[in-house]
Amino acid sequence: MRVLIVGSLGGQLSAATKIAMDRGAKVAHVDTIEQATGYLRAGKGADILMVDVNLDVGSLIAANEAERIIVPVIACGVNVRPEAAAGAIKAGAKEFIHLPPDPELIAAVLEAVSDDDRTLIARDPLMLDVVRLADQIGPSDASVLITGESGVGKEVMARYVHKKSKRASKAFVSVNCAAIPENLLESELFGHEKGAFTGALARRIGKFEEADGGTLLLDEISEMDVRLQAKLLRALQEREIDRVGGSKPVKVNIRVLATSNRDLREAVRDGSFREDLLFRLNVVNLAIPPLRDRPEDTLALADHFLKKYAKANGVDYRPLSDAAKTQVVARAWKGNVRELENAMHRAVLLASGPQIEPEAIRLPDGSPLPASAGGSSVARQAAQAADEAINLVGKTVAEVEKDLILDTLDHCLGNRTHAANILGISIRTLRNKLKLYGEQGEDVPAPGESRFAG
């Protein structure tokens, strides 16, 4: 975590700096709000600003936002009147901390505001396979494409890869390509020179240069305009960028990770994504399965969030009851980990008694999870199994085995390791059987494909 302290903090600068550094933060200091914006504009980067409440917090936030520099602010002060603290919050500060600082309070606020405690939790065999691959490729400088549905934890995985890399001590910089208007994304990524366009009042260092020496995450890369993709491709190939309005290229030393919740092969086919850029980004693909396919992760994550929000709300931790566990595992969780986290937060607030019961697990509108959700799912699966059993009559064991293996491979989009885990056989056995099926003329799904795609 990178912390920029702005001002003297009422004479408590040294104490606050030491506490933040003891918590693993990298701390820098400037005296004025103008210097703070200049520091960020120069690409030095910060994850949190700790600002003296006697400075103009609102002006600092406005100056940063005018250049699309969004960094959360914590206001701090000594013997501050309540209305002054409230004014800082009203001006846009996320929190206010009274000084002299309490070490535990600062640690908790830094953690909460930065949202930097996104722990990678993996218990399910499917997810453990992905983690093992991430461990294997982490130390390299290879570009990595992280794919999966919205909310599965793609950015959490990206941070995990960064921490496993040789660049772990350097910056991790994330850019959400879907959240920044198309006409501003080029400047956000590559920076601009003073006067390059209306409103470019000073040189601005972009995210590529800010991440120099470290890792750059291009979140939701599929939302980037095709014209900008060409400039990105050159930056990845040449490891140099051109600032908007610049006259000479700038060398950068970064590792690039990218995420997408869309099928980029389909985007290539419809012309919205460059195939050469996909090849450049997709040196290694970490495909994160949806939560509904990871029941062991569902329970582990639920328990993690219950502990997290019990602590955050100052209440005792209560585990899920057996009935609640059944309900949680049975739900599809279309919003994946993000939806599960919100549900567990609500459960912490609504629960009574020594355990979290099903009635405390509610939807965003306050209604309980459908009691029949698990039952109907089981019933459908049972009916489907019965139908399939009837269809097995007249087939040999070898034919049934072949259908099962190929259907499982389709389900895993050709991922041999995932399929072998589901089938309960070794990867070598699976490969031998697939080789046999191929020799018999069967259509065997390639990695990343199924027989019924497209």
Q: Per-residue pLDDT tens for 120-173?
A: 999 999 999 999 999 999 999 999 999 999 999 999 999 999 999 999 989 899
Nearest CA to 48 out of 75, 67, 80 is that of 75
Q: What is the DSSP letter of 444?
A: P
CB 137 within 8 A of CB 284: yes
Q: Are residues 47 and 180 in the same domain?
A: no
pLDDT for the residue 374: 41
Distance CA 270, CA 17 (A): 52
**DSSP-derived secondary structure for 240-277:** EE--BT-SS-EE---EEEEEESS-HHHHHHTTSS-HHH
Instruction: State the pLDDT confidence band at 391, using cuts at 50, 70 and 90.
Output: low
Model confidence at 207, pLDDT cuts 50, 70, 90, reads very high
Residues pairing with 3 in the sheet: 27, 48
Q: What is the mean pLDDT of residues 307-330?
A: 90
Distance CA 297, CA 329 (A): 9
Predicted confidence (pLDDT) at residue 379 exceeds the cutoff of 60:
no
The answer to whether the beta carbons of residues 295 and 329 sit under 8 Å apart is yes
pLDDT band with cut points at 50, 70 and 90 for residue 341: very high
Q: How far is CA 24 from the centre of its chain?
A: 21
Summarize the confidence of residues 198-225 as an average pLDDT.
Answer: 89
Last residue of a domain, one of 94, 114, 134: 114
101 with 142, same domain: the answer is: no
Q: In the predicted model, what is the mean pLDDT of residues 72-76?
A: 91
Helix (H, G, I), strand (E, B) or coil at 184: helix
Secondary structure of 94-130 as H, E, C letters: CEEEEECCCHHHHHHHHHHHHCCCCCCCCCCHHHHHH
The Cα–Cα gap between 139 and 133 comes to: 11
In a domain, 451, yes or no: no
In degrees, rounded to 5, the angle at the alpha carbon of residue 171 between the alpha carbons of residues 218 and 215 is 40
Q: How confident is the model at residue 392 (pLDDT cuts 50, 70, 90)?
A: low
We report the CATH number of the domain holding residue 432 as: 1.10.10.60
Q: Are 361 and 343 in contact (CB under 8 A)?
A: yes
Confidence band of 337 (pLDDT split at 50, 70, 90): very high
pLDDT at 10 over 90: no
The count of other CB atoms within 10 Å of the CB of residue 389 is 9
Q: Is residue 55 part of a domain?
A: yes
List the one residue out of 338, 285, 40, 307 whose CA is nearest residue 146.
Answer: 285
Instruction: Provide the domain limits for residue 327.
Output: 291-372
Q: What share of the chain is helix, strand, coil (3-state, %, to 5)?
A: 50, 15, 35
Could you say which of 250, 268, 287 is where a domain stops? 287
CA 229 to CA 388: how far, in whole Å?
47
Is the pLDDT confidence value at 376 over 60?
no
Average pLDDT in the 415-439 region? 84
Q: Would residue 454 count as lying in a domain?
A: no
Q: Are the beta carbons of 270 and 222 closer than 8 angstroms?
A: no
Quick one: pLDDT band at residue 21, thresholds 50, 70, 90? confident
Q: Is residue 450 part of a domain?
A: no
Instruction: Specify the pTM.
Output: 0.70
| 445 lies in some domain | no
Peptide bond into 100 cis (omega under 30): yes
Bridge pairing between strands 240-241 and 250-251: antiparallel
How many whole angstroms separate alpha carbon 326 and alpha carbon 151?
22
Considering the domain architecture, whether residues 99 and 150 belong to the same structural domain is answered as: no
pLDDT at 252: 94
CATH of residue 12's domain is 3.40.50.2300
Q: What is the pLDDT of residue 388?
A: 54
Task: Please tell me the total count of domains within the chain.
Answer: 4
CA distances from 79 to 13, 54, 104 (A): 15, 11, 19
Output the pLDDT for position 323.
92
Structure confidence at residue 371 (pLDDT): 56
Query: Quick one: pLDDT at residue 114?
Result: 62
The two tokens of residue 207 are 């995210």
User: Is 226 found in the same domain as 169?
Assistant: yes
Give the residue from 256, 287, 318 where a domain finishes: 287
Cβ–Cβ under 8 Å, residues 347 and 306: yes
Q: How far apart are CA 24 and CA 27, in angstroms?
A: 9
Per-residue pLDDT tens for 248-300? Answer: 899 999 999 999 999 999 999 999 999 999 999 999 999 999 999 998 999 99
> Going by DSSP bridges, is the β-strand pair 73-78/95-99 parallel, antiparallel, or unpaired?
parallel
**pLDDT value, residue 365:** 79
pLDDT recorded at residue 386: 44
pLDDT of residue 378: 43
Average pLDDT value over all residues in the chain:
86
* Position 208 in a domain: yes
My answer on whether 137 and 102 are in the same domain is: no
Q: Are residues 324 and 224 in the same domain?
A: no
What mean pLDDT do residues 409-424 have?
80
Say yes or no to pLDDT of 385 above 60. Answer: no
Residues 232 and 188 occupy one common structural domain: yes
Domain co-membership, 134 together with 279: yes
From the list 124, 136, 135, 125, the residue with the least C-alpha distance to 421 is: 125
Is 365 found in the same domain as 311? yes
Task: Say how far residue 191 (Cα) sits from the centre of its chain.
Answer: 24
Residue 390: band (very low, low, confident or very high) from pLDDT cuts 50, 70, 90 = very low
End-to-end CA distance of the chain: 43
Considering the chain, what percentage of its residues have pLDDT values greater than 70?
92
What is the pLDDT averaged over residues 311-337?
Answer: 91
* pLDDT(203) > 90: no
- Residue 84 within any structural domain of the chain: yes
Q: Is residue 386 part of a domain?
A: no
Q: Which CATH number characterizes residue 272's domain?
A: 3.40.50.300
Instruction: Name which of 195-204, 401-410, 430-439 the model is least confident about.
Output: 195-204
CA distance 155 to 436: 39
pLDDT digits (tens, 9 = 90+) for 217-231: 999 999 999 989 999
d(CA 358, CA 242): 55
Alpha-carbon span 303 to 292, nearest angstrom: 16
User: Do 130 and 265 fall within a single domain?
Assistant: yes
Residues 266 and 410 in one domain: no
- The single-letter code of the amino acid at 310 is A
Same domain, 72 and 152: no
3-state secondary structure of 50: strand
CATH, residue 316: 1.10.8.60
Burial label, 201 (beta-carbon count in 10 A; 0-12, 13-18, 19+): exposed
Read off the pLDDT band of 448 (50, 70, 90).
Answer: confident
Q: CB count, 10 Å around CB of 276? A: 13
pLDDT (0 to 100) of residue 25: 81
